[in-house]
Amino acid sequence: MNSPIPNLDTSPRGAFASLVPPVWRASTVVFDSLDDFVNRRTRLPDGFSYGTTGTPTQRALETRIAELDGAAHCVVFPSGQAAICSALLALLKKGDHLLMTDAAYGLAKSFAVERLQALGIEVEFYPPRIGAEIERLVRPNTRLIWLESPGTVTMEVEDVPAITALARTRGVLTAIDNTWASPLGFAALAHGVDLCIHACTKYMGGHSDVLMGSIATNDEGLYKSLRGLQSQMGLAVSPEDCFLVARGLDTMQVRMERQATSAQLIAERLATHRLVRRMLFPALPGAPDHALWARDFKQSGCVMSLQLVDGPYDAYRALFGHLKLFSIGASWGGVRSIAAFYPAEELAKRNFCDVQGPVIRLSIGLDDPQALLDELLGALSACETSFNL
């Protein structure tokens, strides 16, 4: 029988060779022989046996992210949150003790509390600035320390080398949500972390149009376990989405450099504004944890949080009402600028948080930084009388 499929040799010698890697779609992978089919699972974790564990488009992306993270292996997942849950499920079992930073991404915390505890895993949150003092919380059954630095919204920087050094001496694994810094800003594995997680949704995708997460590691056993879990949970990643994230990686460095420069300019000016009580942006000299940030990070991110002097909710409503270049929304790291608001009650739920009151979070995109600054200063002065100066 003649195959209707043309020759798919895409090497430069083949009939058609595109500069950009193609998008391969598949549920079914086909095999040359019965033996090949029967032994198909031996192709994993790197090879292909069925669509859920990936396509060449996905593997090419995983290879690029692994290289960026300085890792031997990477598995991508359909969202950052899916990567977080998969890492936790792959590592933890009944009776284990999990130490998680109190400043972790909100859904990571609620997954731990509402799902992992129900599976018989002990969950304990630790103060993000604990450093080597985490030793006093480590128990014989502590299996994993979960880090995120800077922390979500509140931006505490963790002493990662101190925590990973201690974890190693106690045989405890470490994982970090490294989304804020990206692989360009913080080399997590080089600082002793076992698993590095990114929400690729942010800088890697970079255009607010794709959801994805990644886990990179040098541990072969963990890698196999993660690939197995991907298959068991059916966590297939769309090859089109892999294509978009791979395209995002092509420009990530220039986008991030420009966005970080703009963020720095905006943060420096806002820090001097009389309505601004506190800048939470570790790349800013004088901001909390700046010294630790300067010690460990290679480049800044584009997300900052800030607190204003006391004012009613109506004042914030007016302020956000003045924004045009900034869209109001969650997520960050894309080319367009975004503003988000976190009410005081939300942060008050944390156990170890020195940030009281509402927080504004800004994601600085590729817009003209002076125009963004003018908009923010204009919005602040328009609302000035609503705040209690």
Ligand X SMILES: *Cc1c(COP(=O)(O)O)cnc(C)c1O
Nearer to ligand X, 105 or 125 (CB): 105
Q: Which amino acid is at 75?
A: V
In the complex, the smallest distance separating the C-beta of residue 333 from ligand X, rounded to whole angstroms, is 8
In the complex, the smallest distance separating the C-beta of residue 87 from ligand X, rounded to whole angstroms, is 11
DSSP H or E run through 340: strand 338-342
Nearer to ligand X, 57 or 363 (CB): 363
Question: In this structure, which long-range contacts are made by residues 315-321, counting pairs with CB atoms below 8 Å and at least 24 apart in sequence?
Answer: 315/383, 315/386, 315/387, 316/341, 316/358, 316/360, 318/382, 318/383, 318/386, 319/379, 319/380, 319/382, 319/383, 320/379
Q: Residue 376 half-sphere exposure, CB side, CA atoms within 13 Å?
A: 30
Contact between 261 and 376 under an 8 Å Cβ cutoff? The reply is no
Contact between 320 and 341 under an 8 Å Cβ cutoff? The reply is yes
Nearer to ligand X, 80 or 127 (CB): 80
Nearer to ligand X, 191 or 202 (CB): 202
**Residue numbers of the site for ligand X (CB under 6 A)?**
79-81, 105, 148, 152, 177, 179, 199, 201-202, 211, 213, 331
DSSP H or E run through 305: strand 303-308
In the complex, the smallest distance separating the C-beta of residue 273 from ligand X, rounded to whole angstroms, is 26
Distance separating alpha carbons of residues 259 and 265, to the nearest angstrom: 10
In the complex, the smallest distance separating the C-beta of residue 201 from ligand X, rounded to whole angstroms, is 3
Nearer to ligand X, 184 or 275 (CB): 184
Nearer to ligand X, 306 or 379 (CB): 306
Cα-based distances in Å from 274 to 177, 263, 356, 388:
34, 19, 18, 11
In the complex, the smallest distance separating the C-beta of residue 147 from ligand X, rounded to whole angstroms, is 11
In the complex, the smallest distance separating the C-beta of residue 227 from ligand X, rounded to whole angstroms, is 20
Nearer to ligand X, 246 or 380 (CB): 246
3-state secondary structure of 73: strand
Burial 258-270 (b: 16+ CB within 10 A, else e): bbbebbbebbeeb
In the complex, the smallest distance separating the C-beta of residue 171 from ligand X, rounded to whole angstroms, is 27
Q: Residue 150 half-sphere exposure, CB side, CA atoms within 13 Å?
A: 27
Distance separating alpha carbons of residues 248 and 252, to the nearest angstrom: 6
Nearer to ligand X, 125 or 387 (CB): 125
Question: Which residue number is nearest to ligand X in terms of Cβ?
Answer: 80
In the complex, the smallest distance separating the C-beta of residue 155 from ligand X, rounded to whole angstroms, is 11
By C-alpha distance, which of 270, 212, 198, 254 is closest to 366?
A: 254
